[in-house]
Amino acid sequence: MNKTRIANKLNSYRTTDWDALLDRYLHYVKTERSYSSHTLTSYGNDLQQFYLFLDQQYGLAKISPDQITRQKLRSFLAYLKKNDFLSSTINRKIACLKSFFKFLSVHKLISHNPATGLFFLKTEQKIPFILNYDQIKQALASIDSSTVLGARDSAILELFYGAGIRLSELADLKIKNIDFVNNLIKVSGKGSKERLVPLGEVAKQALKNYLSMRDELLQKTIVKNVEDVFLNKYGKRLSTRGIQRRVAKYLHLVATTGTNPHSLRHAFATHLLDEGADLIAVKELLGHSSLSTTQIYTHVSTERLRKIYKQAHPRADKAD
């Protein structure tokens, strides 16, 4: 259902109690749990959709939070499945409901937690599309690094591929967090967890080249932004959407799929493993909290090795 329609419908029946609980919860996960703005938006929309479902089924004004049962939550999930929501989307909504009702339970706002018995749906683990090294080199070669915007775009692609950082981490990168002496950058990842990432020589030179021209952009605005590394053509902080557009522009020249910043992060991890890097080390470089998240890249490397074997070995596909 369209998010605007959900919001408009909600405004017609919201009650003070439910509205206050939503506000308290979102404030808590923002200030105490340091959830990202993207997660906050998603969870807010998920809970609004849940509110709308309750209103349609029971009347939101007629039901209290303490009257929500596990069966009512399962009815909501069945409704989502019936309306062809993806399993991954439903799992995010389950995570949201678990978090929300745990918050209510811990703060004694409900007498029982109906979400404790909810289980996540099984999802097929998709192997990400991986750009090969030649494609990445071609994309980088297409950038005119003699201009300030070209130098900026070159530094962006080099950092994504050379450091494997996330889109949000690159957008939030500050000048003070670049250490050219020790070839390190400090990034703030999910949950505001900071980590140090090695800065390779090629990415380092691309970054230095951009920073040497960056003042051209600062001169285009009255309010000087000296903190954020990457600026737009008006001298203001380059948005995540702006970064996505810049990356897609160059990757579209060499590939029809995998033309987003995350594809370069995928390539970073996979190419490291292809060259024999330790899985634990790659996990730390990516900033993953769980090794299972990193292990998907081992499947990619295995598939590539299998393909090379079939192409190169004379006895791979046939027996004597």
Domain layout of the chain by residue ranges: 3-106, 133-262
Report the pLDDT value the prediction gives residue 3, as an integer from 0 to 100. Answer: 52
CATH of domain 133-262: 1.10.443.10
Active site residue 166: yes
Q: Cβ of 63: how many Cβ atoms within 10 Å?
A: 16
User: Which residue in the list 9, 190, 237, 249 is annotated as catalytic?
Assistant: 190
User: Which residue in the list 25, 51, 152, 166 is annotated as catalytic?
Assistant: 166
Read out DSSP for 263-274?
HHHHHHHHHHHH
Residue 179 DSSP code: E
Based on the number of CB atoms within 10 Å of its own CB, is 256 exposed (0-12), middle (13-18) or buried (19 or more)?
A: exposed
- Helix 37-57 vs helix 16-31: crossing angle, to nearest 10: 160
Residue 143 DSSP code: S
Report the pLDDT value the prediction gives residue 241, as an integer from 0 to 100. Answer: 93
Cα angle value 209/210/215 (rounded, 5°): 120
Active site residue 30: no
Report the pLDDT value the prediction gives residue 128, as an integer from 0 to 100. Answer: 66
User: Which residue in the list 72, 186, 262, 304 is annotated as catalytic?
Assistant: 262
CA 219 from centre of chain: 32
Active site residue 190: yes
Active site residue 214: no
Active site residue 271: no
Active site residue 313: no
Q: Rounded to an integer, what distance in angstroms lies between the CA atom of residue 67 and that of residue 8?
A: 25
Write down the H helix ranges in 62-198. Answer: 70-82, 87-106, 133-141, 148-163, 167-171
Q: Cβ of 295: how many Cβ atoms within 10 Å?
A: 14
List residues bridging with 197 in a β-sheet. Answer: 185
Task: Per residue of the chain (320 residues), give pLDDT as tens.
Answer: 555 554 444 343 334 489 899 999 999 998 888 887 778 899 999 999 999 999 999 998 889 999 999 999 999 999 999 998 988 899 999 999 999 999 999 999 999 999 998 998 886 666 667 889 999 999 999 999 999 999 999 999 999 999 999 999 999 999 999 999 999 999 987 777 889 999 999 999 999 999 999 999 998 888 776 899 999 999 999 999 999 999 999 999 999 888 999 999 999 988 888 888 888 888 888 988 878 778 777 766 666 666 666 766 666 665 54
Q: Are 79 and 55 in contact (CB under 8 A)?
A: no
User: Which residue in the list 152, 204, 265, 283 is annotated as catalytic?
Assistant: 265
CATH of domain 3-106: 1.10.150.130
Report the pLDDT value the prediction gives residue 313, as an integer from 0 to 100. Answer: 61
Report the pLDDT value the prediction gives residue 277, as an integer from 0 to 100. Answer: 84
